[in-house]
Amino acid sequence: MSETNFGKLANGKSAIMMELPAERYFEEAMKSVKSLLASEFEGVYISFQRPFRNISSMFGQNGIDVNKLVVIDVAAALVEANQEKDPRCVHISPEIDIDELVKAIYTSLKKLKSEKKFIFIDSLTTISLYKPLSETLRFSEFLMRTVKTEKNLTLIFNVAKDLSQKRFIKDIALQVDEVVNV
Amino acid sequence: MLKNELGVLEDGMRDLPEGWIVLLETSPEKVLDVSLAAMKILTDNNYSSIVLSASRPCSNLFSLYEKNKIDKGKIFILDCVCKTLDSSAADNANIKHLENASVLTEMAIELGKRMDSAKGKMFIFIDSITTLLIHNKSDVLARFVHSILTKMRMKNVSCLLVSMEGETNREVRAEIAQLCDKVINV
């Protein structure tokens, strides 16, 4: 799928699941973000996999304007590491309370200027390593409800292809508007 | 190791981002040669290394490094093998023995200490995911790997994780591969 197509695909869709090859996972995720920004979206990027410092550097090297994003750095919180001080980076506490995370997403969405917005979950399976499945599902259901009540807000879940057969991922896949196999 | 396999490895190691994390997949027959070749390439390129060894005892590793002209002075081994055979295995400036390959918290603490005192280019060599999976539950190991890789990314420390092709649980392999910048198959 070309970068431009993904931006078009997101238009008018409330929830999309991207199944990415594990070998090119972050590369493909970056392509999606780049494509969305090129289609005048701005977004909240919830990072379970990589700390903000790494994301910011990789996005910079790949021509992605971090100023159009707010990154919620869950990865650093998961390992209780010192978090970056940057206006585009939102910190959460190491307990990773789902309600706190949801609140952080709401607050971050308000910081975006564009009419078209997205919420980008870099990996649902990574958070499930740390939180009970019930909490992971509660998180995804909450997001799903939120995007369905908002105009011009698209939710993108990413998952590695080899993990897409996990029961809870299949349950979530049933609720999205489209599953895109990259 | 065959010339074209060495070429694949050398090509794969080129143009990596700062603080790279690479999953190196190979067959059980080739794993030793490939690991030694990777150590040689990186130490020759001024990297110092911490080797987390769950597969071979430190004495064997140092002897192989010497034989392959790999600069031992640049290498520190976290050995998870020796103490399972000899509880009195002694540490020194280049070796720290851990009880066994299931003490993931101790591994994380030791790796953290070494990363904190790192000077210059450093990479952590994890040998191997496949062996660690024998000693640890898959979800616990995946969480450990995510945790140490995140800490490495925060400190710009690089990492080479070795995995045996077809021998590693498919889901754990995917969970780890998606965290890496590159997967090299040799």
How many whole angstroms separate alpha carbon A160 and alpha carbon A28? 11
The reported pLDDT for the residue numbered B143 is 95
List chain B residues with CB under 8 Å of A49: 146, 150, 178-179
Q: Which of B139, B150, B183 sits opposite A23 (nearest CB)?
A: B183
Average pLDDT (A62-76) is 95
| Closest-CA residue of chain A to B183 | A23
The reported pLDDT for the residue numbered A3 is 52
Write down the mean pLDDT value for chain B: 93
| Domain annotation covers residue B183 | no
Helices (H), chain A: 3-10, 25-38, 52-61, 74-78, 98-111, 124-130, 133-149, 167-173
pLDDT at A4 over 70: no
Asked if the Cβ–Cβ distance from A22 to B178 is below 8 Å, we say yes
| Closest-CA residue of chain A to B148 | A79
What is the interface size between A and B, counted as CB pairs within 8 Å? 72
Q: Helix, strand, or coil here: B165?
A: coil
The reported pLDDT for the residue numbered B166 is 84
Neighbours of A85 (CB within 10 A): 8
| Domain annotation covers residue B19 | no
Number of folded domains that form chain B: 1
| Domain annotation covers residue B25 | no
| Domain annotation covers residue B20 | no
Q: What is the CATH number of the domain that holds B144?
A: 3.40.50.300
Q: Do A144 and A109 meet the contact criterion of CB atoms below 8 Å apart?
A: no
Range of the domain at B59: 30-166
Structural domains of chain A, with CATH: 12-181 (3.40.50.300)
Tens of pLDDT along A95-108? 889 999 999 999 99
How many whole angstroms separate alpha carbon B88 and alpha carbon B86? 5
List chain B residues with CB under 8 Å of A57: 17-18
Asked if the Cβ–Cβ distance from B175 to A82 is below 8 Å, we say no
Cβ of residue A51 closer than 8 Å to a chain B Cβ: yes
| Domain annotation covers residue B3 | no
| Domain annotation covers residue B45 | yes
Cβ of residue A166 closer than 8 Å to a chain B Cβ: yes
| Domain annotation covers residue B18 | no
Q: Do A129 and B178 meet the contact criterion of CB atoms below 8 Å apart?
A: no
Q: Which residue reads 């709401």 in tokens?
A: A106
How many whole angstroms separate alpha carbon A175 and alpha carbon A140? 10
| Domain annotation covers residue B120 | yes
The reported pLDDT for the residue numbered A84 is 72
DSSP 8-state symbol, B184: E
B32 min Cα distance to partner chain A (Å): 23
Q: Do A94 and A7 meet the contact criterion of CB atoms below 8 Å apart?
A: no
Q: Tens place of pLDDT for every residue, chain B, 186 residues?
A: 667 888 888 888 888 888 999 999 999 999 999 999 999 999 999 999 999 999 999 999 999 999 999 999 999 999 999 999 888 888 998 999 999 999 999 999 999 999 988 889 999 999 999 999 999 999 999 999 999 999 999 999 999 999 999 888 899 999 999 999 999 999
Asked if the Cβ–Cβ distance from A81 to B139 is below 8 Å, we say no
Question: What does R_g of chain A's alpha carbons equal in angstroms?
Answer: 15
Closest of B168, B160, B167 to residue B141, by C-alpha: B168
B85 min Cα distance to partner chain A (Å): 32
* Tokens linked to B53: 């060894």
User: Above 0.85 for ipTM, yes or no?
Assistant: yes
